[in-house]
């Protein structure tokens, strides 16, 4: 079980994340979002680690409360958060709302691999890989 700390005084649950691209990586603050199917990263971060929209595998349209946003799906070399790392991890690349103050969201395509417990008062998330045992219990 890995324990990740977050600042419980913030409006969102924001955790340290790491994303690798072409020969470089970036440390980012991403918000945990159990209502997001995909992990989202903003285009400027993706460009910063050496990818372009041409590396995308599909175009996406996200309908949010502020309107339609076009983006694309991309596999990054590696993605790490909550103490775990995935290779060739798929992210949805699109611009969050103007004036945002995070670099993206950690969605269910990452979280679904784990059992996790969010301890809001303590400001901690306890995470362990999901197993067949925990899935059936």
Partner 1 sequence: MVQARLADTPFISEPLTWEQICERYPDEWVCLVEIDRPIDHNFAFRTARVVGHGKHPRDPIMQARPFCDHYEGMGHYFTGRVRARIMGMVIE
119 binds partner 1 (CB under 8 A): no
Taking CB under 8 A as the rule, does residue 104 contact partner 1? no
Helices (H), 2-126: 43-48, 108-111
Least distance (Å) between residue 115 CB and partner 1: 17
User: Is 133 among the residues that bind partner 1 (CB under 8 A)?
Assistant: no
Among 38, 91, 93, 96, binds partner 1 (CB under 8 A): 96
Q: Comparing C-alpha atoms, which of 120, 118, 122 is closest to residue 106?
A: 118
Interface with partner 1, residue 15, by CB under 8 A = yes
Q: Which stretch binds partner 1 (CB under 8 A): 52-60, 74-82, 86-94, 114-122?
A: 74-82
Q: Does 38 bind partner 1 (CB under 8 A)?
A: no
**Considering the rule CB under 8 A, would residue 65 count as an interface residue with partner 1?**
yes
How many Cβ atoms from other residues are within 10 Å of residue 86's Cβ? 15
- Who contacts 100 (Cβ-Cβ below 8 Å, separation ≥6)? 42
76-78-82 Cα angle (round to 5):
120
Q: Distance (Å, rounded) from C-alpha 88 to C-alpha 109?
A: 13
Phi and psi, residue 6, nearest 5°: -140, 160
Footprint of partner 1 on this chain (CB under 8 A)? Answer: 2, 4-7, 10-12, 14-16, 18, 23-29, 31, 33, 35-36, 42, 44-45, 48, 63-66, 80-83, 96-97, 100-103, 105
């Amino acid at each position: 079980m890995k324990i990740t700390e977050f600042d419980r005084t913030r409006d969102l649950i924001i955790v340290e994340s790491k994303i690798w691209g072409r020969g470089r990586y970036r440390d980012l603050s991403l918000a945990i979002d159990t209502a997001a199917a995909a992990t989202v990263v903003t285009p400027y971060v993706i460009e910063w680690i050496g990818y372009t929209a041409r590396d995308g595998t599909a175009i996406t349209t996200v309908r949010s409360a502020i309107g339609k946003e076009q983006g694309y799906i991309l596999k990054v070399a590696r993605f790490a958060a909550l103490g775990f790392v995935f290779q060739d991890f798929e992210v949805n690349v699109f611009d969050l709302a103007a004036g945002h103050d995070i670099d993206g969201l950690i969605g269910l395509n990452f979280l679904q691999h784990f059992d996790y417990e969010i301890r809001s008062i303590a400001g901690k998330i306890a995470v362990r890989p999901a197993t067949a045992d925990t899935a059936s219990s």
